Amino acid sequence: MIINCKCMTNCVSDRQMFILQWTTHTHTLSLTHRISTVNMWLYERLTLMNISVEHQHFQVDQLMIVSTD
């Protein structure tokens, strides 16, 4: 599973919105949420879509943060 975190602004504040994109062999998904709730939120969304995840929580610093400039 490839997970990219693309900040819509400058990634400084955890109140900034970001876009999560990830690809599996059957899904390409793009979602927007707040970085402060990424861990449980991402896990819940993946679980609801029946996409297995290896870890219950994703740390923000494990995501690839890509500037949208």
Query: What is the Cα Rg of the chain in Å?
Result: 12
At residue 1, the pLDDT reads 43
| CB 27, CB 49: distance < 8 Å | yes
Q: Determine the Cα–Cα distance for residues 58 and 63; give it in Å rounded to an integer.
A: 8
Read off the pLDDT of residues 14-55 as tens digits, 9 standing for 90 and up: 444 444 554 444 444 444 444 444 555 555 655 555 544 443
